[in-house]
């Protein structure tokens, strides 16, 4: 086999095991940066370790996994696209080589040459939702990846439970429906909905400072005695270990 065919086969075999590649420094240098190449590698530079406390990294990782699972279901062997995750704590040398000191960062390594311009996704403007990542990949390769998200059945299950409870009450007392609109019945219903809504948890533990919306990014909730505000933004975490210049 030629060098090019051998490199493509290695990436294909790794991709068959997991849609998101995790390479060591030597593999990265050879398969992603080294010539020749006739394939594209879309990489996410991140820091997922708990001690990093990078909330946007966790949100971006969820979206990247959604993209990967969608790509895996529709993957065509002729489409020379690979997805790569680089974690700072696993491969700091890759960060140093790419001169990157922020996360998350999305970089496209094209079939020839080095990344430039639109090969770097501007998450401060577009965010990092799976749909955004798919559009970015399409703009660089003309390969379309329809995003397939897992369906949440929590709402349907809750509705069925409520319908079952109402049905049981009607079955047990079919001759007297006044209890449904009785004050005590309504009070119990309001109390139950209040408990399951999460308000009790928030009153005890306080709302989480960060949480991740489905479209990516971070929602920050700051509460004080005088004001409460919510701000939507995309956060980049800077490592103190990268503050010195190499």
- Percent of the chain, pLDDT > 90? 48
Structure confidence by residue, pLDDT tens digits, 147-199: 988 776 666 787 788 778 777 766 766 665 565 556 666 676 777 766 666 55
Q: What is the pTM of this model?
A: 0.65
Greatest distance between any 2 Cα atoms in the chain: 83
Distance of alpha carbon 172 from alpha carbon 159, whole angstroms: 20
* H-helix or E-strand spanning residue 219: strand 218-223
Nearest to 67 by CA among 31, 101, 104, 94: 104
Distance of alpha carbon 220 from alpha carbon 212, whole angstroms: 9
Name 161's Cβ contacts closer than 8 Å, sequence gap at least 6: none
Q: Which domains does the chain have, with CATH numbers?
A: 3-141 (3.40.30.10), 182-211+221-240 (no CATH)
* H-helix or E-strand spanning residue 25: helix 25-27
Under a CB-based contact definition with an 8 Å cutoff, are residues 111 and 11 in contact?
no
């Amino acid at each position: 086999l030629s060098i090019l065919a051998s490199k493509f086969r290695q990436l294909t075999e790794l991709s068959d095991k997991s849609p998101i590649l995790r390479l060591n420094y030597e593999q990265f240098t050879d398969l992603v940066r080294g010539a020749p190449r006739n394939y594209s590698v879309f990489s996410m530079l991140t820091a997922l370790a708990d001690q990093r406390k990078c909330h946007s990294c966790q949100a971006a990782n969820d979206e990247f996994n959604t993209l990967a699972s969608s790509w895996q279901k529709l993957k065509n062997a002729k489409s020379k696209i690979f997805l790569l995750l680089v974690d700072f704590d696993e491969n700091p040398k890759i960060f140093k080589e790419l001169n990157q000191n922020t996360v998350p960062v999305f970089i496209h390594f094209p079939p020839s040459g080095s990344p430039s311009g639109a090969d770097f996704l501007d998450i401060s403007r577009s965010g990092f939702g799976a749909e955004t990542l798919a559009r970015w990949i399409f703009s660089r390769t003309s390969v379309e990846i329809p995003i397939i998200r897992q369906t949440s059945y929590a709402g349907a299950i809750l509705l069925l439970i409520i319908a079952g409870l109402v049905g049981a009450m009607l079955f047990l007392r079919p001759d007297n429906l006044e209890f449904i609109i009785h004050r005590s019945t309504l009070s119990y219903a309001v109390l139950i909905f209040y408990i399951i809504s999460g308000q009790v948890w928030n009153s005890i533990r306080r709302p989480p400072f960060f949480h991740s919306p489905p479209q990516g990014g971070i929602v920050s909730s700051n509460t004080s005695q005088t004001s409460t505000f919510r701000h939507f933004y995309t956060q980049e975490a800077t490592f103190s270990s990268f503050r010195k210049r190499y």
